[in-house]
Structure formats: structure tokens, C-alpha cells
Amino acid sequence: MTPTVKDKDNIKDVRLFKAIAPLRKPISDATHTLSEISFLVLRIQTSSGVTGESYLLSFQYSRNAIVGAIKDLQSLACRYTIWETGKFNQAAAAYHEYFGKTGLLNWATALYNIAMWDAKGRALQLPVHKIFGATRDTVPVYGSGGWLSYTSDELVEEACNYVSRGFEAVKIKVGSYNWRIDLDRLKMVRRAVGDGVKIMMDANQGMSVPAACELSTAAEDLNIHWFEEPIDHQDFDGYKKVKDVTRISLAMGEREFDTLPLKELIRRNAIDLWQPDLLRIGSVEAYRQSAALAASHHIPVLPHYYKDYDVPLLCSVANGMGAESFDWIDQLIDNPMKVKNGHLSPHDVPGWGFSFLDEHLHAL
């Protein structure tokens, strides 16, 4: 029996799980080596039987800290109905004020918020993007990876595999100890995929300002679509210096817990693409507010990682440019998205449209 919409739909049960995706060997970018691809999955149930689910990408980092933060919020979340996501966000911010409203505490808030939105959609029997009012039916998507730890053959193989699967854009990592190595890798991928495929590069904040300027200037002839996080995300003046010497669009935002960096970069005319991370920025509401701020300055939104949430949300904002795609959860969920002609479509089922399969979940 389908639960009915009720004014009082309090969260009464919360369960937390961990899921792990297979990883053949560690992978590295300019600032991290990842030895585990793991996820924390939250499931909530309301007093009327409505369920909701959410997940965050955890890797091998701060296992006890993030799990503790999530569990600490349980009693607070249970004071609210799934219709009170805004009130919950405010209460969580007040609850976290002493230890800080950013960092992993934002992630914990977002995990509950996203599950509440899933439950709203299921209660209303509507996909999330239709709750907000869809402005489009598909979103461009790019294949992400190109890890610095890859051999040349592995790099080319991954890029070509993405293209063979219908992707029309790929992103690779840069930030080697010598930027000329990055340039050779970019040239290799360009030769392999041809001129009709877009290529982006991502330094994960791992370059100095001079090296980022050198690489961005040298790579212009390769028709690079954007340069992501070339330097430290708080070096706003450094972004301005890179922006002044390159014709390649600059993208950043995935490390931010609020919109202050976006405002600082807008003031310096040093950003072209805004990349909010739904979990870091803290909620669906904060994500959409950041998109609205970017739109007011004619800056497209190109969010970080969470395609299964980002595609529905991008379909409901006018300045959504595209979504990032990894395959990591596809084998762990019941309804993975499928690429068609370089695009993804939101699921036309209630909520976010997917759930993790029980056999991959381990209770925490």
C-alpha cells in the first residue's frame, strides 16, 4: 500500500550502512592516493512508512569522524518531518555551531537532507526534479578519471572506453611534478579520442600558480574545455593570475562549504564555471541557492561527482551545464543511469529514483 502524504511525517527510524566498490589498485591525483572506494548510505523511515535514502562518498578518510557526526544528528533529525528540510538545516547549523558549521558536519547534515528529499518524492509519488519544476529532460555528461597513477596505456584505454560508451567529453588529471608531463598526457588523449571529443583537465589544487599558468598557456592549442582547480582553492588572487594568462575556462567549487569563495572569485572575475558538491555544501537548498548566485553572474553550474543527484537537480536550474560521471556506484544500486548521445536523463520514478542493493550494504 502506497503511503499517503501527511502533515506529520516525522522521521522515526534511521539506519546507516557502508558499501564498497571494487578497486583493482590504488589511484592517485595530484593531492590524494585513494586505496578504497567506499560510501556511507543512510536510510530513514517516517511514522507513516515512507522511506528515503542518501549516500556520500567516503573513500578511506576519517571513518570514525564522519560516522560519529552522522550518528550525532540522528536525534535532532527525528524531531522533524520530511517536509521540514529547511527547518532541519537551520537546526543542524545551530547544533554544529560550537565545532563549526563546515567540514564533515556539513556532510552529515546533507546526508539527512538528501534522504528527506528522497522521502518527499516517494510520498508525493514524484521525481525530485518534477517537484522543483524541470526546465529540461537531459543533461550533458562527461567521463571522469584519467588518474596520474595510470600508465599511458591505461590513460588512453579509459578515455577511449568512455567514448565508445557514448560519452562526448572526458576529464583527466594533471598536476605532475613537471607540467610538461601533463601536457604530453593531454596530447596523448587528444590523439586517441580525436578532435570531436571535449577534453578537460583537473589539477585537484595540486599546482603552483606559475606551473598552472605555464600548462594552461601551452595546452590552449589542444582545445581544452576547462581547467579545474588549478591551484589551492583559497588562493583567490592566484586564480586571478591564472585567469589573466589563459583562454581556457577556469572551474572550481567542489571543496567549498558555502558560497564565500564563489563571491570572492566573481569579484575578481576569476571563475567561469561553478562546481558545487552537494554533500559539502550541505543541502539541496544550499546547492540551489549557490546555483542561483552563479546564475545572477551568468556563470554555469557544473557540479562535482554525484551524478545520481546532480542530474535531477541540474534539470531544475536554468544554468546547469553538465554532470560528472564515475561508474563507482552503478554496480551497487538498482537503477543506474545510462548514457545516451553524451547525455543523462533523470529517473522518472519517485524520489531520486534509485536505491542501494541490500547485498552490498554493511550495517554500522
* Best CA proximity match to 207, nearest among 253, 251, 242: 242
- 205 vs 107, 231, 252, 356, CA distance in Å? 21, 4, 9, 32
Is residue 197 within 8 A of residue 173, CB to CB? The reply is no
What three-state secondary structure class fits 37?
strand
pLDDT range class, residue 145, cuts 50, 70, 90: very high
222 vs 9, higher pLDDT? 222
Instruction: Give me the pLDDT at residue 7, please.
Output: 62
Q: How far apart are CA 187 and CA 320, in angstroms?
A: 29
Strand 139-144 to 343-344 pairing: antiparallel
CATH 3.20.20.120 assigned to 130-356: yes
Alpha-carbon 329 to chain mean position: 13
Q: What percent of the chain has pLDDT over 90?
A: 95
Q: Does residue 1 carry a pLDDT above 90?
A: no
Q: How far apart are CA 80 and CA 17, in angstroms?
A: 22
Q: How far apart are CA 161 and CA 204, in angstroms?
A: 23
Q: Range(s) for CATH 3.20.20.120 in the chain?
A: 130-356
Stretch 12-32: mean pLDDT, rounded?
95
Q: Which three cell numbers stand for residue 257?
A: 562549504
DSSP state of 348: S
Instruction: Give me the pLDDT at residue 4, please.
Output: 52
What tens digit of pLDDT does each residue of 86-128 get? 999 999 999 999 998 789 999 999 999 999 999 999 999 999 9
What tens digit of pLDDT does each residue of 190-245 get? 999 999 999 999 999 999 999 999 999 999 999 999 999 999 999 999 999 999 99
What tens digit of pLDDT does each residue of 292-330 get? 999 999 999 999 999 999 999 999 999 999 999 999 999
pTM metric for this prediction: 0.95
Instruction: Give me the pLDDT at residue 102, please.
Output: 85
- CATH number of this structure's domain 11-125, picked from the four choices 3.30.390.10, 3.40.50.300, 3.10.520.10, 3.40.50.620: 3.30.390.10
Q: Does residue 9 carry a pLDDT above 90?
A: no
